[in-house]
C-alpha cells in the first residue's frame, strides 16, 4: 500500500486497524514519528500560548502596580496626629531614659540563660588579674537585650507612644559596641528620631539609640532600631 493511501485511510479507520496494515518495521517507524509529532505539537502549543495576549481580566496597564504603590496610606486619626508631631522632630532626641545599673548578678543571669559563661563576663577575680579592663564586662547582647527597658518600651506608665495599641520590634539595621560596659556601671539610652513612615497598620519609626555609660565619654552601644506602631 502506498504511503498516500495510508494517510487517506487514517481518517477513515480506527488506530488499531490502521496499525494492522503496517509491517513491523513500518509500525516501529510510525510509532516514533507519532511520538515526535505529539511532542512538537505540545511545544508549539506552549510557545503559541506564550505569544497570546492576556485575557481581559488579566490585562494590567503598565502603571497599575505603580499606582497601587504610590497610593497614599490612609492613617487613622490618632496615627495621623502622631505622624504630624514626629515629622517636626526628625533629627532630634525624642527620649532619654533613666540610669540603670548593670550589676554582676544581672550579667551572671544573662550568661546562664544564654550559656555564655566566659570568664571575662562572670569571673571578677580572674578578670581583675588578666583582663585589660581589670573587671568583668557585660555581654554585648545583654546591652541589646536591655534596650526595651532602657527606651521605656515595656513600661505602660512611661510609654513614648501611648496612643499606639501595640509596638512591634522589627529589628536593628546597625549595631556597634564602641566601649565595654563594665560590671556595676550605670547606663541609659538616648534616642534620636531618624525616620517616620506611614504604613498600612500605622507608623514605622527608625531611631538611632546610643547607650551611654555614666562617667564614660564613649557609648557602650550605638544601634539603629526599627519599630512599628499599630493603631
Q: How high is the pLDDT of residue 72?
A: 81
The answer to whether residues 106 and 219 belong to one domain is yes
The answer, yes or no, to whether residue 7 has pLDDT greater than 50, is no
Q: What is the mean pLDDT of residues 95-114?
A: 98
Q: Which domain holds residue 126?
A: 77-230
The answer to whether residues 111 and 174 belong to one domain is yes
The answer to whether residues 107 and 143 belong to one domain is yes
CA distance 53 to 206: 44
The answer to whether residues 203 and 152 belong to one domain is yes
Q: Residue 72 domain-assigned?
A: no
CATH of the domain at 84: 3.10.129.10
Instruction: Report which of residues 6 and 103 the model is more confident about.
Output: 103
The answer to whether residues 129 and 215 belong to one domain is yes
The answer to whether residues 41 and 149 belong to one domain is no
The answer to whether residues 104 and 175 belong to one domain is yes
Q: Report yes or no: 187 and 214 within 8 Å, Cβ to Cβ.
A: yes
Q: What is the mean pLDDT of residues 18-37?
A: 56
pLDDT digits (tens, 9 = 90+) for 34-44: 565 555 454 44
Q: Residue 65 domain-assigned?
A: no
Which of 92-101, 108-117, 155-164, 187-196 has the least mean pLDDT? 155-164
Q: Report yes or no: 207 and 192 within 8 Å, Cβ to Cβ.
A: yes
pTM: 0.68
Q: Residue 67 domain-assigned?
A: no
Number of domains in the chain: 2
CA distance 61 to 203: 30
Q: Residue 124 domain-assigned?
A: yes
The answer to whether residues 46 and 85 belong to one domain is no
Q: What is the mean pLDDT of residues 107-118?
A: 98
Instruction: Report which of residues 148 and 159 the model is more confident about.
Output: 148
The answer to whether residues 115 and 192 belong to one domain is yes
Instruction: Report which of residues 187 and 156 the model is more confident about.
Output: 187
What DSSP line would sit under 89-139, residue for residue?
TTTSEEEE---EEE-HHHHHHHHHHHT---HHHH-HHHHHHH-TTSS-B--
pLDDT tier at 28, thresholds 50, 70, 90? low
Q: Residue 134 domain-assigned?
A: yes
- Residue linked to cell 497599575: 64
pLDDT digits (tens, 9 = 90+) for 167-219: 999 999 999 999 999 999 999 999 999 999 999 999 999 999 999 999 999 99
Amino acid at each position: 500500500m502506498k504511503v498516500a493511501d495510508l494517510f487517506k485511510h487514517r481518517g477513515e479507520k480506527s488506530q488499531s486497524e490502521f496499525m494492522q496494515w503496517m509491517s513491523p518495521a513500518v509500525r516501529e517507524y510510525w510509532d516514533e514519528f507519532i511520538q515526535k509529532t505529539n511532542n512538537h505539537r505540545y511545544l508549539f502549543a506552549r510557545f503559541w500560548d506564550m505569544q497570546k495576549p492576556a485575557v481581559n481580566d488579566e490585562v494590567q496597564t503598565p502603571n497599575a502596580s505603580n499606582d497601587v504603590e504610590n497610593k497614599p496610606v490612609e492613617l487613622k486619626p490618632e496615627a495621623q496626629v502622631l505622624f504630624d508631631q514626629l515629622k517636626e522632630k526628625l533629627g532630634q532626641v525624642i527620649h532619654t531614659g533613666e540610669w540603670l545599673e548593670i550589676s554582676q548578678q544581672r550579667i551572671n543571669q544573662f550568661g546562664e540563660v544564654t550559656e555564655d559563661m566566659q570568664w571575662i563576663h562572670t569571673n571578677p577575680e580572674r578578670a581583675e588579674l588578666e583582663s585589660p579592663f581589670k573587671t568583668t564586662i557585660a555581654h554585648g547582647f545583654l546591652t541589646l537585650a536591655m534596650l526595651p527597658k532602657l527606651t521605656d518600651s515595656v513600661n505602660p506608665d512611661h510609654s513614648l507612644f501611648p496612643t499606639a495599641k501595640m509596638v512591634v520590634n522589627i529589628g536593628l539595621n546597625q549595631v556597634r559596641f564602641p566601649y565595654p560596659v563594665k560590671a556595676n556601671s550605670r547606663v541609659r539610652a538616648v534616642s534620636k528620631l531618624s525616620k517616620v513612615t506611614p504604613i498600612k497598620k500605622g507608623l514605622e519609626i527608625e531611631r538611632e539609640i546610643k547607650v551611654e555609660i555614666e562617667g564614660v565619654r564613649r557609648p557602650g552601644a550605638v544601634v539603629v532600631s526599627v519599630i512599628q506602631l499599630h493603631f
